[in-house]
Amino acid sequence: MRKEDVLFEKVLFGGKPEQKVIDNIRNHIRILYSACELFKDALLKHDKALMLSITDLEREGDIVRREIVSNIYEGAFLPFLRPSICRFVEIVDEAVDSIEDAAIGYGSYNLNLDKPTEEDCLRIADLNIKICEMLSIAFETLFSKEDLREKSLVIRIYEKKVDEIKFEVLGKLRETEINNFWDGKILSDFISSLTRVSDIIEDASDYLYIVNVSLR
Amino acid sequence: MTELIPLAACLLIAFGVGSNDTSNALGICIGAGIIKLRRALFLFGFFVLAGILLQGQKVMKTVGKGLVDTNLTILSVALTVSALLIILSNWKRLPLSTHQVIIGSLTGSGVASGADVNLLSLVEIVLSWIISPVVAFLLSYSLYRLMEKTISKLSLFNIEKILRRLLLAGGILVSYNTGANELATVLGPVIYSGLSGEMQASLLGSLFVFLGAFILSSRVIETIGKGITVLDPYSGFAAQFGAGSCVLLFTFFGMPVSTTYCVIGGISGVGMLKGMKTVQTSLIKKIIANWVIAPVSAFLICYFVTLAVKRFF
């Protein structure tokens, strides 16, 4: 952008809060992606300390979310778009929360997964990374003329795969003997938090679609 | 000393125009957070001044010279009654058109004084009041269609960026029209009766519009701002810009037309595209009734007041 354009923008519109919001949303999705990647890495290495470092990413995500919402409240974007953008950001944050819940379940409560369940969880973790990547691509579609529907469809397909694995895991777990209530609950919560990430990202992608059509 | 009465009334009307019309012009932009209130007020004041200096002459001539052969009594009664009616309507929140009240008052007072009233000019003005909302309707309708075929095809954030600039452009256009058409209608009679020079009246009138905007408009704008949180920016822009272009078009012909009625025409045009259900026919009926009542009551009040003034003074 030329110097004169920047000056014109600043004098007339008082700066560019929209760009700040866009940069922060990118950062927020990147945090979600990093959390999913870290989760898979920690699960692969059986590294509980690494797994618990996801909580730092969650805190970072919270800070970014608050900044986005306050920028929007201060007047970024047209009022017609604001509620959908806010909701999108909140949903992404819920996904980060969900991966954090799974990470705490694994890292803090000494959860031991048997080999087949661990492999299934790794497949889910891998799919979560792919869905995050696709969400990031879908968000970038809002800057281009590309079709957002294709990206949403890919996200839905990934989510369906996660669902299939989830039912497989649940089927296997039903046959596993559980020695005490809390071990069972922690394992169950771990699986639901891990599989919920893809569900939430699918919701986020639906909201992106709403944002995209709202001004047309 | 009596020369000061029409001048004071004129400035009072200009003050009222400022307090009321800033929201017409830039309320959407302020409510949508496109521009801050203080910046908007200066922008409004600047474009009102630009409007009256660059293009106010034709409308001034139509109202000040072409309509009624004025004298001090006619001006004093017509402008004082207009000022009172406009202040009263602002206070009671009744949508009265400044143009209609001034034209009705000047004609009523002129007829009562036995002055020459140019019927052809009056018919032209009334016709332009009827035609202008229809033109605004068509312009807004076409603009909306054009936007659907062009801007809608762009990426979301580009659409948003463009709409922000377009909404501001619409606000600037309406601000410009406030000077070129509305303020010109207010000042025309005093300029052409020789009570004030054109430049002096234009500067003073613009200053009073700015003061009205600065002192009183923030409350009105805040109300509009809160009410438009879910405003569809496409419709808002098409209606406002269509109406603004229509007023500008009539300004070229020197016709004093109301922005408010043109905006109503514009909104109906956009509403038609979204289905007749979105157009509130009961509200339109009320507006049409008001459209007739405003100039007729101004005419009658001024007619009787002028008769009374002639009898007692």
Give the pLDDT confidence of B138-188 residue by residue, as tens digits: 999 999 999 989 988 888 888 888 998 999 999 999 999 999 999 999 999
Are B160 and A78 an interchain contact pair (Cβ–Cβ within 8 Å)? yes
A1 in contact with B at a CB cutoff of 8 Å?
no
Distance from CA of A87 to the nearest CA of B (A): 15
For residue A78, the chain B residues in CB contact (below 8 A) are 32-34, 160, 163-164, 233
B35/A13 CB distance under 8 A: yes
Q: Is the Cβ pair B153, A81 closer than 8 Å? A: no
**Is the pLDDT reported for residue B225 higher than 90?**
no
Instruction: Categorize the per-residue pLDDT at B228 as very low, low, confident or very high, splitting at 50, 70 and 90.
Output: very low
Number of compact structural domains in chain B: 1
* Residue B229: per-residue pLDDT: 38
Q: Which residues of B touch A18 (CB under 8 A)?
A: 157, 160-161
- pLDDT at residue B226 tops 60: no
Nearest to A81 among B31, B160, B234 (CB): B160
Report the pLDDT averaged over residues A64-73: 94
Query: What would the pLDDT profile of A23-66 be if each residue is shown by its tens digit?
Result: 999 999 999 999 999 999 999 999 999 999 999 999 999 999 99
The residue of chain B with its CA nearest to that of A73 is B33
**Cβ contact B33–A76 (<8 Å):** yes
What tokens appear for A50 in the block?
Answer: 């690494």
> What does the pLDDT average to over B283-298?
82
Percentage of the residues of chain B whose pLDDT score is greater than 90: 52
> Which segment of A36-40, A81-85, A191-195, B254-258 scores lowest on mean pLDDT?
A81-85
User: Residue B152 has which token pair?
Assistant: 């809608």
Residues of A in contact with B32 (CB under 8 A): 78-79
Q: Which residues of B touch A13 (CB under 8 A)?
A: 34-35, 164
- Please enumerate in sequence order all residues whose Cβ is within 8 A of that of B179, keeping only pairs 6 or more positions apart, or say none: B47, B48, B49, B50, B51, B52, B53, B56, B206, B209
Q: Do A12 and B159 touch (CB under 8 A)?
A: no
Quote the pTM value.
Answer: 0.83
Q: What is the pLDDT of residue B30?
A: 83
Give the pLDDT of residue B158: 87
A41 touches chain B (CB under 8 A): no
Instruction: Quote the pLDDT of residue B278.
Output: 62
Give the nearest chain B residue to A148 (CA atoms): B155
Any chain B CB within 8 A of the CB of A22? yes
Buried b (16+ CB within 10 A) or exposed e, A106-141: bbebebebeeebeebbebbbebbbbbbbbbbbbbeb
Averaged pLDDT score across all residues of chain B:
87
Average pLDDT over residues B280-302: 83
Q: Which 155-214 residues of chain A touch chain B by CB within 8 A?
A: 211-212
Range of the domain at B251: 4-312
Residue B64, token pair as written in the block: 């000040």
Task: Please give the average per-residue pLDDT across B77-95, as a whole number.
Answer: 85
* Among B43, B144, B155, the residue to mutate for chain A (most A Cβ within 10 A): B155
User: Among the CATH numbers 3.30.70.1380, 1.20.58.220, 1.10.10.10, 3.40.1190.20, which is that of A3-214?
Assistant: 1.20.58.220
